[in-house]
Structure 1
Amino acid sequence: VGDIAGRVMNRRVRLLFLFVLFMALTIVLAIFGLVIASVFKMYPSAIFPCLVQIPLAVLIGVWLHQKGVRLLLPSLFALGIMYATVVFGDVSILHQINSTLQAQSIFTWVVILLVYSYIASVLPVWTLLQPRDFINSLQLITALGLIVIGLVGAAFMGGAPIPGNPERPPLEIVAPALNLMPEGAPFIFPFLFITIACGAISGFHCLVSSGTSSKQLKSEPDARFVGFGSMLIEGFLATLVIIACTAGLGLGAEVKGELLIGENAWAARYASWSSAGALGAKVGAFVDGAANFLKAIGIPAQVALALMGVLVASFAGTTLDTACRLQRYVVQELASTFNCKEPGVSNPLALLQNKHGATLFAIVIAALVAVAPAPGQLNWSFETAGKGGLILWPLFGATNQLLAGLAFLVITFHLWRRGKPVWFIALPMVFMLIMPMWAMIVQLFFGSGGSKSWIESGNWIVVLVGLATIALEMWMLVEAAFMFPRAKGVLEAQARDEGITQPAETS
């Protein structure tokens, strides 16, 4: 998408876009290793199935790419192996393996996952990334089907019986229908619009679609089916997540060794903004709520939790290795801007144009962020390290949605140059450019919901990255404003020939 921005706008916009992408992907790489490590700590029965996915993906990749077999047999084989590891992956010696791996520090897991991301990024896409995503998609579809069946079963029969109580708890929405003043929460406007709304709009999707998905399509007409269909499935998943967190939790949740049901179970996770803000609480709410649906139709509790834990960890892993590959592209493109056409002048960043150098640079930066002390962490050690990504986590929502607005900007110019209507894309573009910046400015300078601003709290890394992001966005908008009146109906090649891809001179 950075190169596309350079073509339909100008080279400076390309460079600015790449810098924004670099910061956003650094946050993803630093935080998603922590997400996976947290899932493994909370649900150790998910560890072995996730590890099995890697050699299984390589086998499927070779099977499909080199043997040319049809998809049906590899699909059934992959699903069978995956669900066998979920059911039997925490018994006997496998339980001991999971327990040993669970005991590893967060930082150890982050390092292991970043090394894995390096390997997945430099290998051909068909070797690991593509078949692993294929396995995850099969797993997602079957898991969604099980959740829906469990949801329907719980609606008619109630949840799984509670120990000591023969009655099955009824399925109902236990979250309050309206809560205007949640304790410690920021104002809903504009902060609602910097949540990670992957089923509606997400900047990360523009990176994935342009960086990896587009290169795996059989033909260009498939893009609409794949892209729009994926967003529909994401939206469906988001709906099930909401139901799991607002109703599924009410069927039973263990909190500090005590089994709670109904509103008490929900309040234990969402009583205040701070209680819902912890990473473990976010992940655990969905896993426990969705597992309750599966338990309602007779699936054993351990298997249900393992299945949902594998689902979350697998997709976090997919995000991690895809983000690493995308960051590699971004680093290579940034390094290429230093190429000089004059003979005998070498690029000082030539090493970063190599896929190994670019990937190594990406994971080293992510590791440095991850190893930094987390907010409020006073006694730092390698045993407690690995949570440094939480420093930049407050920026993730805003930068992610800002990327969506900038992607709209690029699409607008693409259509505008071809004389196509742009109002239908320009309206959401303006909205998605204003909301993330507004939310970021509020958090930077004013604070919200009783929390201090980033400047008042002394979170200078977040302040620096936030200000840089705002500055880059403003610069891109200025470039766009200068170009927009003169770009209508002027295709990219014609614009380069006529020298009108640059802003007008103001002197």
Structure 2
Amino acid sequence: MQTLAIAIASFVLYLVAYHTYGKWLGKRIFKLSRDNMSPSREIDDGKDYVPTSRSVVFGHHFTSIAGTGPIVGPALAVIWGWLPALIWVLVGSIFIGAVHDFGSLVVSMRNRGQTVGDLAGRLITPRVRLAFLFILFMALTIVLAIFGLVIAAVFKMYPESIAPCMLQIPLAIGIGLLVHKRGGNILIPSLVVLALMYLSVWFGDTGWLHDFNQSLKGWSMIQWVVVLLGYALVASVLPVWSLLQPRDYINSLQLLSALVLIVAGLVVAGLMGGAPIDPALSAERPPLEIAAPAIEADHLGKQLPLIFPFLFVTVACGAVSGFHCLVSSGTSSKQLRCETDARMIGYGSMLAEGFLAVIVILACVAGLGLGITGENGTILTGTDAFNARYASWAGLNGLGPKVGAFVDGAANFLKAIGISGDFARTLMGVFVASFAATTLDTACRLQRYVVQEIGRTADEGFPVLKPLKPLTNPYLATLFAVATAALLAAVPMAGAEWSWANAGKGGLILWPLFGATNQLLGGVAFLIILFWLRRRRLPLWFAAVPALFMLVLPAYAMLYQIFVAALGSDQSWLDQKNYLLVGVGLATIALEIWVLVEAALLWPKVQGLKETPLPPFRHQFNETEVTPRD
């Protein structure tokens, strides 16, 4: 019952937070109003700026920010104990993550849908904008290089998920064309497609589809990475209504319905117990109990890094993630039809992701205890099952153990309501791969914006970057984004020879930086929000404390890893002679210091002094002049 009580209490807490703190932010701080012209209606170019209903934008936003972050991070963090991970997810998502996402979305909407990079230049200084753009470029390059690897790894672990994931693409394009040409509500056709997607999971590994899945299972990592980056390239230059919106929307229906099934299984397991371990021998249902310690005492035996700061870097997306400010300002702010929808999208989506992280935690610490197959084929339950998966920090290195812990734990919840084990595992494999894919194509579109903004800096006081000016072209910018990610992915890991077998894993070289860099993005986004608030003499405290936390913590984590001890090792990155990692890490710290110095010098001068307004916008179709909003 403890597991069920935690799930219910978390859900209620998120509902209360949305209708109290979230409402207060929207009404009293950001003063959302239906009367304000949204960027999507002001510009409406039919490609990036498209007025869209909030349910569709919610689907896009939620699936884009979630990715595998709220799965992998919490699944790893419970090794410190389930209580610290749970507290950080709940407190972080309500008071830091949701505020960060909501604030980034509103500030972008009030500035004609500008990205956080452009906002940094206008609200702070152009030099801060340049520094921030380089941080963004590095972080998104890692995301693009690694998420292709993530999807490829899931496909290799669960090949039965390949066909269902691929079928989502033509189904989404069909929905996008149908709704765009004929208009009407997207819900009904999307529900039909949702049913087809579940059928594809059911029949997706039978007959010739089984042979198809097995043939692709043998692909090398570099083959998958190239194909997936090629898909991301095409998806990111197509109009958002043609693929991005419909795919994210039907994916959100699939993912939310799968989450409902997991919660239903958790409720049944909590009240009646899990599925019988061996129905042929006994119909007894094992009780649902937390098999992990609340706080892990054996830090030395399990070779755990310091819980502070590394817990707060490991659990990113489930609590707070700097990547979310890119989605809020890069795509979602350009699609919202009405400004008052921003609370549901910015604040509500983060709470939904937080609840997903809670379910992941419970699947790993309680769902696993309902029974897993050990290395010798025996069935392990309770603490034996948990300890088999969480014997040490080193044992959780790699994607497989972390994703596998969630998939097996969640599948046990589904089995409690009568779903077969094979179907449950396939569904969870599709669940993880779909989340990663939606993040991949959104990240590619965001990287295109970043590259274009870097190209524009040549005309904005940085002539040294003039050779990059051609990258203002959206197609060249997208090609550059994909090419740099592919080059990083093609590099073999340190010490490994280049071969087709080793290629594709290059993103892992810089992946240890991503947690700290990602949180640093969140800190800089909070700085932008703070400057916007200060220029309007609005309250600052609700953003100032999270900003301080998100600026100090990732810098501490990165410096500790560089000079003291690397995760999973007794050596620092410097001792391991991992000079690429050390160089990029130190460059990131230098960029942060640059941003903080610029911000500190300007801070006393901006109170009540609004930034220079954007020039009047002339609509490309009717040349109507639109006056900038506040």
Q: Which TM-score band applies after superposition, normalised by the shorter structure? A: over 0.9
Counterpart of 2:359? 240
Q: Supply the AA of the counterpart residue of 2:323.
A: F
Distance in structure 1 (CA, Å) of the matches to 2:498 and 2:277: 41
Q: Supply the AA of the counterpart residue of 2:521.
A: L
Counterpart of 1:492? 611
Tell me by how many angstroms 1:113 deviates: 0.4
Distance in structure 1 (CA, Å) of the matches to 2:546 and 2:497: 45
User: Contact 1:187/1:448 (CA < 8 Å) preserved in 2?
Assistant: no
1:169 maps onto 2:277 in alignment: no
Distance in structure 2 (CA, Å) of the matches to 1:125 and 1:248: 38
Counterpart of 1:503? none
Distance in structure 1 (CA, Å) of the matches to 2:250 and 2:321: 23
Distance verdict in 2 for CA 1:257–1:120, change over 3 Å: farther
Distance in structure 2 (CA, Å) of the matches to 1:122 and 1:95: 32
Distance in structure 2 (CA, Å) of the matches to 1:40 and 1:346: 40
Tell me by how many angstroms 1:355 deviates: 1.4
Counterpart of 2:30? none
User: Contact 1:86/1:307 (CA < 8 Å) preserved in 2?
Assistant: yes
**Match for 1:179 among 289, 296, 299?**
296
Partner SS, residue 458 of structure 2: coil
Partner SS, residue 492 of structure 1: coil
Q: Supply the AA of the counterpart residue of 2:448.
A: R
The answer to which of 194-203 and 288-297 deviates more is 194-203
Tell me by how many angstroms 1:340 deviates: 7.6
1:445 maps onto 2:560 in alignment: no
Counterpart of 1:337? 457
Equivalence map 1:214-229=2 (5 Å): 214-229=333-348
Tell me by how many angstroms 1:379 deviates: 4.3
The answer to which of 3-12 and 444-453 deviates more is 444-453
Kindly provide the CA deviation profile for residues 93-138 of structure 1, in whole angstroms up to 9, marking residues without a partner as x.
1111111111111111111100000000111111111111101110
Counterpart of 2:508? 390
1:124 maps onto 2:243 in alignment: no
Tell me by how many angstroms 1:347 deviates: 4.7
Tell me by how many angstroms 1:158 deviates: 2.1
1:33 maps onto 2:152 in alignment: no
Equivalence map 1:39-118=2 (5 Å): 39-118=154-233
Number of paired residues? 493
User: Contact 1:63/1:69 (CA < 8 Å) preserved in 2?
Assistant: no
1:463 maps onto 2:578 in alignment: no
Distance in structure 2 (CA, Å) of the matches to 1:272 and 1:481: 43
Q: Supply the AA of the counterpart residue of 2:135.
A: V
Equivalence map 1:142-221=2 (5 Å): 142-163=257-278, 165-166=281-282, 167-182=284-299, 183-221=302-340
The answer to which of 130-139 and 450-459 deviates more is 450-459
Identical counterparts, % of pairs: 61
Equivalence map 1:330-479=2 (5 Å): 330-339=450-459, 347-375=466-494, 378-447=496-565, 451-479=570-598
Distance verdict in 2 for CA 1:394–1:340, change over 3 Å: closer
1:272 maps onto 2:392 in alignment: yes
Distance verdict in 2 for CA 1:373–1:150, change over 3 Å: same
Distance in structure 2 (CA, Å) of the matches to 1:29 and 1:213: 19
Partner SS, residue 373 of structure 2: strand
Structure 1 moving runs of 4+ over 6 Å: none
Tell me by how many angstroms 1:257 deviates: 5.4
Q: Supply the AA of the counterpart residue of 1:456.
A: D
Q: Supply the AA of the counterpart residue of 1:243.
A: L
The answer to which of 327-336 and 252-261 deviates more is 252-261
Tell me by how many angstroms 1:279 deviates: 1.1
Equivalence map 1:289-300=2 (5 Å): 289-300=409-420
What's the C-alpha RMSD, in Å, of the aligned pairs?
A: 2.0
Tell me by how many angstroms 1:185 deviates: 1.3
Distance in structure 1 (CA, Å) of the matches to 2:356 and 2:519: 19
Distance in structure 2 (CA, Å) of the matches to 1:298 and 1:100: 31
Counterpart of 1:141? 256
User: Contact 1:196/1:400 (CA < 8 Å) preserved in 2?
Assistant: no
Distance in structure 1 (CA, Å) of the matches to 2:460 and 2:577: 41
Tell me by how many angstroms 1:165 deviates: 4.2
Kindly provide the CA deviation profile for residues 398-447 of structure 1, in whole angstroms up to 9, marking residues without a partner as x.
01111111100000000001111212211110111000000100001111
User: Contact 1:199/1:233 (CA < 8 Å) preserved in 2?
Assistant: no
Distance verdict in 2 for CA 1:486–1:112, change over 3 Å: same
Please, which runs of 5 or more residues in structure 2 have no aligned partner? Answer: 1-115, 616-630
Distance in structure 1 (CA, Å) of the matches to 2:176 and 2:360: 31
User: Contact 2:454/2:468 (CA < 8 Å) preserved in 1?
Assistant: no
Distance in structure 1 (CA, Å) of the matches to 2:492 and 2:575: 19
Distance in structure 2 (CA, Å) of the matches to 1:231 and 1:4: 22
Partner SS, residue 126 of structure 1: coil
1:317 maps onto 2:437 in alignment: yes
Partner SS, residue 317 of structure 2: coil
Distance in structure 2 (CA, Å) of the matches to 1:431 and 1:352: 35
Distance in structure 2 (CA, Å) of the matches to 1:494 and 1:365: 35
Tell me by how many angstroms 1:451 deviates: 2.6
Tell me by how many angstroms 1:64 deviates: 1.5
User: Contact 2:493/2:502 (CA < 8 Å) preserved in 1?
Assistant: no
Tell me by how many angstroms 1:143 deviates: 0.7
Q: Supply the AA of the counterpart residue of 1:68.
A: G
1:307 maps onto 2:422 in alignment: no
Distance in structure 1 (CA, Å) of the matches to 2:441 and 2:501: 24
Distance in structure 1 (CA, Å) of the matches to 2:399 and 2:578: 19
Distance verdict in 2 for CA 1:188–1:340, change over 3 Å: closer
User: Contact 1:340/1:347 (CA < 8 Å) preserved in 2?
Assistant: no
Kindly provide the CA deviation profile for residues 38-90 of structure 1, in whole angstroms up to 9, marking residues without a partner as x.
11001111111100000011011111222102123112112111101011111
Tell me by how many angstroms 1:495 deviates: 13
Counterpart of 1:505? none
Partner SS, residue 339 of structure 2: coil
Tell me by how many angstroms 1:196 deviates: 3.5
User: Contact 2:176/2:241 (CA < 8 Å) preserved in 1?
Assistant: yes
Tell me by how many angstroms 1:453 deviates: 0.7
Q: Supply the AA of the counterpart residue of 1:37.
A: A
Distance in structure 1 (CA, Å) of the matches to 2:272 and 2:498: 50
User: Contact 2:415/2:421 (CA < 8 Å) preserved in 1?
Assistant: yes
Distance verdict in 2 for CA 1:340–1:233, change over 3 Å: closer
Distance in structure 2 (CA, Å) of the matches to 1:458 and 1:220: 50
Distance in structure 2 (CA, Å) of the matches to 1:168 and 1:106: 41
Counterpart of 1:18? 133
Distance in structure 2 (CA, Å) of the matches to 1:346 and 1:434: 30
Q: Supply the AA of the counterpart residue of 1:385.
A: A
Distance in structure 2 (CA, Å) of the matches to 1:194 and 1:181: 21
User: Contact 1:340/1:346 (CA < 8 Å) preserved in 2?
Assistant: no
Q: Supply the AA of the counterpart residue of 1:451.
A: D
Distance in structure 1 (CA, Å) of the matches to 2:265 and 2:613: 58
Distance in structure 2 (CA, Å) of the matches to 1:281 and 1:494: 51
